[in-house]
């Protein structure tokens, strides 16, 4: 029996389970954690800066060496339920060297909260960074965001936000965004076994599917997916790219050949790789 497009239930479950395709996924995560710990020991960093009321609403800020620096805010992946900001320190080495501030965001996760709460935390983090940018040497007029996997979904949701109406911030508070290996339509996620934990219903899946909430105006977007990720993840990226471009919005699409879902996260630590080069160029630092 087909449950979504041409997929049976088992096939759809597999499409949204990267560990079925990348058997050494845990090794990638261990390396990411190790590299992040190394970079925290190497660079100046302000750890666990609170941006909200709950224990999880914290940031790690890696300041630049010069004032009024552009800011890159990163949202980690992990299915909205795993990992935390401590795995997202390693890219700071290259961004700080290029003259940027790197910020890794923590947020409340499943099963403690639902998807609307996760998105709200991330919006609160953006608002806090904008309002406090000068306190850590940042230029609030040069705020960029990025994320991987479920973090890429959160990036896309940030681009659907009515910043002026809901947060009393400039409508163009985000000057550039990078979403790598993400999900932009949550309906197939709702229908997969991921929903055993996520508990999405049709309304919450639609409400949090950025492909159905595209803005009329937005900042330039770098959208990426690995060339050997699952068919569904590549479809999601290509369809979101097409919908974004159809609105006349600026897009840089990356699909590095031979890379899986975990390889694309590792690329955030490669100064000569396509993701970092594109992000720095977007920030005017390339």
CATH of the domain at 10: 3.40.50.1820
Sorting pLDDT into bands at 50, 70 and 90, what band is 22?
confident
Rounded distance between C-alpha atoms, residue 221 and residue 279, angstroms: 10
Instruction: Say what the pTM is.
Output: 0.97
H or E element: which one contains 172?
none
Whether pLDDT at 26 is above 90: no
Q: By residue range, what is the domain housing residue 17?
A: 2-282
Q: Does the structure show a pLDDT above 90 at 106?
A: yes
Minimal CA–CA distance to 231: which of 242, 221, 239? 239
Question: 177 with 222: CB under 8 angstroms?
Answer: yes
User: Concatenated DSSP letters for 201-222?
Assistant: -HHHHHHT-GGGS--SS---EE
What number is the average pLDDT over the span 143-149?
98
Provide the number of structural domains found in the chain: 1
**pLDDT band for position 25 (50/70/90)?**
confident
């Amino acid at each position: 029996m087909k449950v979504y497009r041409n997929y049976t239930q088992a096939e759809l479950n597999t499409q949204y389970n990267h560990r079925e395709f990348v058997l050494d996924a845990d090794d990638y995560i261990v390396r990411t954690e190790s590299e992040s710990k190394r970079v925290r020991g190497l660079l100046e960093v302000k750890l666990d800066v609170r941006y909200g009321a709950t224990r999880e609403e914290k940031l790690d800020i890696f300041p630049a060496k010069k004032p009024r620096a552009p800011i890159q805010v990163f949202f980690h992946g992990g299915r909205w339920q795993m990992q935390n900001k401590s795995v997202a320190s390693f890219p700071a080495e290259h961004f700080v060297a290029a003259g940027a501030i790197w910020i890794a965001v923590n947020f409340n996760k499943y099963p403690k909260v639902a998807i609307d709460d996760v998105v709200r935390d991330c919006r609160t983090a953006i608002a806090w960074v904008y309002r406090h940018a000068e306190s850590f040497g940042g230029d609030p007029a040069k705020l960029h965001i990025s994320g991987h996997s479920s973090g890429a979904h959160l990036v896309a949701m940030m681009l659907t936000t009515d910043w002026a109406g809901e947060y009393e911030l400039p409508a163009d508070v985000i000057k550039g965004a990078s979403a790598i290996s993400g999900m932009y339509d949550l309906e197939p996620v709702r229908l997969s076994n991921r929903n055993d934990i996520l508990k999405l219903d049709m309304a919450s899946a639609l409400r949090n599917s950025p492909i159905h909430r595209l803005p009329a105006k937005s900042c330039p977007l770098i959208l990426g997916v690995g060339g050997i990720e699952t068919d569904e993840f590549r479809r999601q990226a290509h369809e979101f790219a097409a919908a974004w471009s159809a609105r006349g919005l600026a897009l840089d699409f990356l699909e590095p050949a031979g890379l899986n879902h975990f390889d694309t996260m590792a690329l955030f630590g490669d100064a000569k790789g396509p993701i970092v080069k594109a992000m720095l160029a977007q920030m005017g630092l390339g």
